[in-house]
Structure 1
Amino acid sequence: MTILHVSAVKSWGGGENHIETLCYELKQSNPEIKNIVLCVENTLFHERLNETEIEFQTAPLAYNLDLRFSFKIIALCKNKKVDLIHIHDPSAIALTIIADKFASLPPFIFSKKTSFPIKNKKLTLYKYNYYKIKKYLCVSEETRRVTVESIKVKDKVITVYQGTSITNKSSETDFLLRKKFDIDESKKIVGLIGNHIRAKNLETFIETVNIIVNIKKRTDIIFVQIGSFTDRTEDLIAKVHELKLENFIHFIGYIPKASNFIPQFDALLMTSQSEGIPEVIFESFYHKKPVISTNVGGIPEILQDGINGLLTKKQDSAMLSEKIIHLFNNKELAEKFVTISYEKLITNFTASVMAQKTLKEYKNILNGN
């Protein structure tokens, strides 16, 4: 079986990490499955794949519907004798459909990784309901609930939780956070990993730190944020300066293998206003670090408030600040949370479980089920 994974994303994030993890796990468990990734040339994903043993090809994507990308899909399907195309983002759906109009391609399977509703527009609905998409793999029940509203054949939409690999974890980093930012051992480090995009809502992150530092006068907690800078970054940094939080918030930018820094955190913070299920939470489960998060997307399906983590509603910086302080004021909470979370991870949310469930769907499609 040969699977072509198509990604038209130009950055590096959880969706691209999902592709890498899936290909890695299938290579380990089922070497008879050949996985080929098609990504956009000269992007962070391209750069990352260069460092792996995953087979990949690249194509230019100068604009949204660049036909060169579609023609590369056709060529790969022909030359590599592709059996199934696994599409990993909305832009890739359109490019693959265009390719199918020029050449009869194998069947498609699509991974829905966010809880954004599908827009009720004619062309968008046509794209998502294209007849060659045989299954929709949603990363959470919430994502499935949102997706099924726009899909005509409801039983095509299923949940396959994203998972994290437990066989290739590392804590190796190019530098130590405490040394780089001169953080005393008596202070706590709260980490937030995510690109500077609207969904991650870093404005709420900054306001949360403002409440902790400037209103509650807690100067013993330092915040480190890792993720690609965007056109939103300038305003975020300006806000940090305006609130005089330069000594408490450190924006690092994009770092390969950012999750390797998690062992240096005392807790992980998520301030997102929209998510599927962030793999960074599973990474924190593995490294036994407590998680404080907003209750968006599929996050409440893996993190229960007061049971194995702390949750608030989105955009509630006041409550987020309360939860962070509550965690560090009650040491036994963190110990309880990480024990339960680790067990949940090993039982339900490993990359191995995800890969085998995904492979089952590949086989179902190719067997006509």
Structure 2
Amino acid sequence: MENIVLVTHSSEATGGGEDDFLRLVKYLSKRYNLYLIIPNGPRAQLLSEYAVDYLITRFNIFPLSKSSVKSYIKYILVSFLRSYDILKFLIKKKKIVISYINSSVCFSDVLILRFFRIPVIICIKENIQPVWIRKLIFKWINYFSCAIIVISKFLKNVYFEDTGNNNAYIVYPLIEEELYRKIYDNLKTFRKTKDGKLVLLNIGVICNYKAQHLLIEAIKMTNLVDKVKLKFIGRVTSHKYFDYLNSIKHNCEIEFLGELKKEDTIKEIYDANCVIITSLNEGFSITVIESLFFNKPVITSNVGIVPEIIKHKENGLIYKTGDSGDLADKINLLFNDNSLFKKISESSNKSILSKFNLDLSLKKYDEVIKLYKK
């Protein structure tokens, strides 16, 4: 079998990009010899089992939203160290026909791969901010890569506007319908919440651009504050922001669950009455897809791929991004209109199954690899 290199940005236990990478690794391991470059994390050991050889390297993600100069300098310094690790790892490897980078936040790895004359395919999953930095990164990627994969029409349009390249391949994120159905069947007798309160769930790392404060602010403006429990799933990446969330919660009942394993996260989705997305910036949210699959109403900010999935008042509700008052209005609307709640719940699952097909997405990845390998 031919040799290929796969690089990922994260080995965390949860996350849409992380889930995609694991499924892709499983699929490609039956067709190629895999050399994996992966940061340390909960999934690193599992990923390594599918590789002929692997490198556990430094965790280094480019800041997605406006950050300090210190953050950017740290990224550059760690990039040099990471490139040295990759150099030592690849220098004695036999002919490698192509490489795939799972996220545009690993754009610095492109240079070392091109040093070995390895063609590079990059998957863009993020809408990096601020815009001027995103444009620089996308132009860098456009120059050094042989092909671009994006996970939504939205990101394809952004990439085209920034680079003038309209040839990016759209491959929607990978949804393991069979696995989800198995988990769903096992959960039919599960009901964790016993106190009679409505559970509103938010999933995402705890940081400014995920904007969890909007949900706390919004629930205080509704007529449901005494009837609701807010749950937040995700590791804390900004302790300053986490402290801020605790300072504004006041009389709200809130539970921070931290980072959970996939099945535990799905249990919480199943247990929730509604899933709320508060992100200010998002390329794609796997949470939206998982929630729709389990027939959970979704209230979401209008970011990223949302307009491609959610039809307002049909399979979810969309509020004005960053507007806690509008979010409060949508929460009141959903829980004070039983017919709307039922309509949205019943139409959620069927709205995603035709677009997010695991087999079609995996075959698309393989087609792009075969097209550009040397």
Is 1:313 aligned to 2:320, yes or no?
yes
Please state how far the C-alpha of 1:125 moved relative to its aligned partner.
5.5
Partner of 2:64: none
Partner of 2:111: 97
CA RMSD of aligned residues (A): 2.9
Give the alignment partner of residue 353 of structure 2, picking from 303, 327, 346: 346
Is 1:145 aligned to 2:157, yes or no?
yes
Aligned partner of 1:191: which letter?
Answer: L
Give the alignment partner of residue 108 of structure 1, picking from 120, 126, 129: 120
Identity %: 23
Is 1:162 aligned to 2:173, yes or no?
yes
Is 1:193 aligned to 2:203, yes or no?
yes
Please state how far the C-alpha of 1:327 moved relative to its aligned partner.
1.6
CA offset digits 1:131-156 (Å, max 9, x no partner)? 3x12211111111111112225x143
Is 1:4 aligned to 2:5, yes or no?
yes
CA distance in 2, matches of 1:275, 1:78: 39
Cα contact 1:3–1:34 (8 A) shared by 2: yes
CA distance in 2, matches of 1:330, 1:34: 54
Q: Which residues of 2 match residues 178-189 of structure 1 at below 5 A?
A: 178=192, 183-184=194-195, 186-189=196-199
The 1:109–1:314 alpha-carbon spacing in structure 2 relative to 1, beyond 3 Å, is same
Cα contact 2:9–2:103 (8 A) shared by 1: yes
Deviates more, 1:286-295 or 1:335-344: 335-344
Is 1:285 aligned to 2:287, yes or no?
no
Please state how far the C-alpha of 1:160 moved relative to its aligned partner.
1.7
Cα contact 1:202–1:236 (8 A) shared by 2: no
Is 1:20 aligned to 2:22, yes or no?
yes
What is the number of equivalent residue pairs in this alignment?
A: 345
TM-score by length of 2: 0.81
Partner of 1:303: 310
Partner of 1:84: 98
> Structure 2 unaligned runs (5+)?
61-76
The 1:140–1:72 alpha-carbon spacing in structure 2 relative to 1, beyond 3 Å, is same
The 1:167–1:290 alpha-carbon spacing in structure 2 relative to 1, beyond 3 Å, is same
> Structure 1 unaligned runs (5+)?
none
Please state how far the C-alpha of 1:121 moved relative to its aligned partner.
8.3
CA offset digits 1:257-282 (Å, max 9, x no partner)? 12342111111110111111211111
Please state how far the C-alpha of 1:304 moved relative to its aligned partner.
1.0
Please state how far the C-alpha of 1:229 moved relative to its aligned partner.
0.7
Please state how far the C-alpha of 1:67 moved relative to its aligned partner.
3.7
CA distance in 2, matches of 1:119, 1:10: 28
CA offset digits 1:197-227 (Å, max 9, x no partner)? 2321112122112223xxx354112111000
Give the alignment partner of residue 245 of structure 1, picking from 232, 245, 251: 251
CA offset digits 1:17-73 (Å, max 9, x no partner)? 22123334556xxx32444431123xx3xx223246543531235843234545436
SS of the counterpart of 1:337? helix
Aligned partner of 1:168: which letter?
Answer: L
Deviates more, 1:273-282 or 1:11-20: 11-20
Deviates more, 1:353-362 or 1:135-144: 353-362
Aligned partner of 1:57: which letter?
Answer: L
Partner of 2:45: 50
Cα contact 1:22–1:351 (8 A) shared by 2: no
